[in-house]
Structure 1
Amino acid sequence: MKTIFTTAALLLSALYASTSLAQNPLNFGNNIRTADPSGHVWADGKMYLYTSHDEECQLDFHMKDWYAFSSADLVNWKNHGPILKISDLTWADNFAWAPDAAYKNGKYYLIFPAGNGYKDRVNPEKSTKWMGLGVAVSDSPTGPFKDAIGKPLFTTPYANDPSLLIDDDGKAYLYFHGMNADYQVAEMADDLLSIKGGLQKMDMGGYEPKMEGPWVFKRNGIYYFTMPENNRSLAYYTAKSPKGPWKYHGIFMEAEGGNNHHSIVEYKGQWILFYHRWLDTPETKCTKKQRHVAAEYLHFNADGTIQKVERTDEGVGDFPETVEKQK
């Protein structure tokens, strides 16, 4: 009898372990549909993700608010959203797309795209859609955030998908996806409420594929410009300066059907790739794939190049155990 109970206990333990490690997509609770994760670690030592929010089974990215989530172990997440809504803005009425965040001057900043108009996918020449980048500020990393300038940073070019790098010297650089204006950078004013010096086209080494959703970070003195090449596969460049010139290194995560949008952050000694997946949702009445934020470990070679990343069901579900083993 004792043997039977022991065997049953071991089986239950194994089942629990396998379930606890299956953390892709990340569990934010309430089946919320999220995408475009921007990861940041603030002074309290927690990981914060700032995301866009897909309405259930939405037809065409008509999105109305932004969310924040926090975690100390990348397994258990707290929902702090919505932290800003389209209805809080006077200059836009739609398209609450991929945000980024920053901390500077004792304040938390949310850099966000928003816009108005209509995108006609059947007859593109009839489209009136426009998007620009706004800045919202809060005393807390979880908001609420308030539109700080009451207008976009600039109206030309059409722009979305901001990535904001605060360098070691405190200077801030804004990268984005722009209409006929990709691979550009703007240095921001010290208060992060305007840009100075205009937009600067960067030297990408002669290779400039269609892209969106750039994410720029720094590691061991090397700057990494990463982005979804052709809006699908994650690829990257490196440089010795935040403005380039950049050297292309290729794709580190292959495409999986829909678009991808990501961020790369070091947390407790591990580099983490946050991204989104398009997954079936049979528990709902939606017949199309929907977006969900996921995460994987990301590793570098000795020369600083990025190793290929495969999507997994486990993701970073063993992060607490991994961190414990490092001690």
Structure 2
Amino acid sequence: MKNDTVGRLKMGYLPLAFVFLFFATELSSQVNIADPFVLRVDGKFYLYGTDDKKPNDGIPVLVSDDMVNWSGPAGNAAGKLALAKGSSYGTRGFWAPFVVQNNHMFYMYYTANEKIAVATSDSPLGPFMQQEFRPLNDSLKEIDPHVFIDDDGRKYIYFVRLINGNRTFAAELADDMRSLKPGTVVECINQSQPWEIISGNKWPVTEAPAILKHQGKYYLFYTANDFRSPAYNVGYAVSASPLGPFVKYKENPLIRQTDKIKGTGGCEFVTGPGEKLYMFYHAHADEQSPTPRRTLFSNAIFVPGKAAGESIFQVSENKVFLKSSAR
């Protein structure tokens, strides 16, 4: 599966059917999955992420046919999870999963114990497991993995290291999908723009990387500020190479927040109905509390910029919150 293909699809605005469907399903339960990632397989959508209520149990998965109404828990692992504690590396803090299909196998990259690990399954529902329980790197604290397969088949992983802040790095993956190619790790994003800086914050944060390829350029998305802050928001940077250097968009951040929708971040992308591009992300629970975070999505498009060959990424102001039913 090539992650970059979504960047070249014809994109438009959010279909009104989604808006109507949203209001029609208000009586359903709100989906509270933070750091959402959506995988599309054979016409179905699989939602993975962080469960703020039970972060030490494993990684949940929900299933949908339309991207708005979800059913679950739907996993094949213990507790109906996609990945359950005890079947793979980690004892606590199961966060921010990313799933990619390669050679008929599904690879889940996830955070546990502030390390990144890789588990596999022959089904998007799991169970995702490791034969040998181990992280990618046992010597450093690393979180928030995102994997990208380029047109030439080379594979890259983007992640966050906890070194004097949360800083975004990238590296080329080895062919086994479970290790890094030596000498390829580079730093891509750190705190530099005014909106990324919270007054008095001694631990700068640029985290939750995600990447799209569009017209030969690489768009690296990240979220800045502490996740508990209302100022938590998404920005992006552009490069001619998957490993950078990346130049930040001057008009960051991307998401227009409201009085009732704050703390928007942790984004990922999927090609949805109508072959349009959608950005999934989370928002604070309400105006008083950041958790459990709510899951939502917006339509996303590339538009021509002022400079020759320039494309600007934009997010629709329409925000669709996900609804769920028990499975």
Interval of TM-score (by shorter of Structure 1 and Structure 2): 0.7 to 0.9
Is contact 2:100–2:147 with CA below 8 Å preserved after alignment? yes
Residue identity opposite 1:241 in structure 2: S
Distance 1:237 1:149, change over 3 A: farther
Aligned residue in 2 for 1:293: 295
Does residue 275 in structure 1 map to residue 281 in structure 2?
yes
Residue identity opposite 1:41 in structure 2: R
Is contact 1:51–1:98 with CA below 8 Å preserved after alignment? yes
1: distance between equivalents of 2:220 and 2:289?
Answer: 35
Does residue 76 in structure 1 map to residue 69 in structure 2?
yes
Is contact 1:149–1:193 with CA below 8 Å preserved after alignment? no
Aligned to 1:20, the other structure's residue is in SS state helix
Q: Provide TM-score, normalisation by structure 2.
A: 0.73
Aligned-pair CA distance for 1:31: 5.2
For residue 195 of structure 1, the aligned residue among 155, 166, 180 is 180
1: distance between equivalents of 2:59 and 2:207?
Answer: 19
2: distance between equivalents of 1:64 and 1:225?
Answer: 30
For residue 221 of structure 1, the aligned residue among 201, 216, 219 is 216
Greater C-alpha radius of gyration = 1
Aligned to 2:182, the other structure's residue is in SS state strand
Any residues of structure 2 matched to 1:224-303 within 5 Å, and which? 224-231=219-226, 232-249=232-249, 250-254=252-256, 256-258=261-263, 260-267=265-272, 268-280=274-286, 289-302=291-304, 303=310
Residue identity opposite 1:20 in structure 2: L
1: distance between equivalents of 2:142 and 2:244?
Answer: 21
Distance 1:263 1:288, change over 3 A: closer
Aligned residue in 1 for 2:57: 64
2: distance between equivalents of 1:206 and 1:289?
Answer: 24
Distance 1:227 1:92, change over 3 A: same
Aligned to 1:190, the other structure's residue is in SS state coil
Any residues of structure 2 matched to 1:21-170 within 5 Å, and which? 21-22=22-23, 33-42=32-41, 44-55=42-53, 62-79=55-72, 80-81=74-75, 82-89=81-88, 91-115=89-113, 131-170=114-153
1: distance between equivalents of 2:271 and 2:247?
Answer: 22
Higher relative contact order (CA 8 A, sep 6+): 2
Is contact 2:59–2:94 with CA below 8 Å preserved after alignment? yes
Aligned residue in 2 for 1:305: 312
Uncovered stretches (5+) of structure 2, i.e. residues with no partner: 1-16, 76-80, 197-204, 227-231, 305-309
Is contact 1:68–1:142 with CA below 8 Å preserved after alignment? yes
Aligned-pair CA distance for 1:197: 1.1
2: distance between equivalents of 1:253 and 1:245?
Answer: 24
Aligned to 2:135, the other structure's residue is in SS state coil
Distance 1:287 1:226, change over 3 A: closer
Aligned residue in 2 for 1:212: 207
Aligned identity (percent) is 27
Aligned-pair CA distance for 1:198: 4.3
Aligned-pair CA distance for 1:38: 1.1
1: distance between equivalents of 2:131 and 2:120?
Answer: 6
Residue identity opposite 1:297 in structure 2: N
Aligned to 2:116, the other structure's residue is in SS state strand
2: distance between equivalents of 1:17 and 1:298?
Answer: 14
Residue identity opposite 2:283 in structure 1: R
2: distance between equivalents of 1:182 and 1:213?
Answer: 10
Q: Deviations over 1:6-56 (max 9, x none)?
A: xxxxxxxxxx9976333899x9x66553111112223x133322212121x
Q: Deviations over 1:201-232 (max 9, x none)?
A: 24559947631111112223221100112241
1: distance between equivalents of 2:118 and 2:255?
Answer: 30
1: distance between equivalents of 2:290 and 2:322?
Answer: 26
Distance 1:211 1:311, change over 3 A: farther
1: distance between equivalents of 2:100 and 2:253?
Answer: 27
Residue identity opposite 2:216 in structure 1: G
Aligned-pair CA distance for 1:310: 2.9
1: distance between equivalents of 2:242 and 2:143?
Answer: 20
Q: Deviations over 1:279-315 (max 9, x none)?
A: 249xxxx987521211111122124211244363x46
Aligned to 2:284, the other structure's residue is in SS state strand
Between 250-259 and 231-240, the greater mean CA deviation after superposition: 250-259
Uncovered stretches (5+) of structure 1, i.e. residues with no partner: 1-15, 116-130, 318-327
Aligned-pair CA distance for 1:258: 3.5
1: distance between equivalents of 2:322 and 2:94?
Answer: 28
RMSD: 3.2
Residue identity opposite 1:271 in structure 2: L
Aligned to 1:95, the other structure's residue is in SS state coil
2: distance between equivalents of 1:17 and 1:41?
Answer: 18
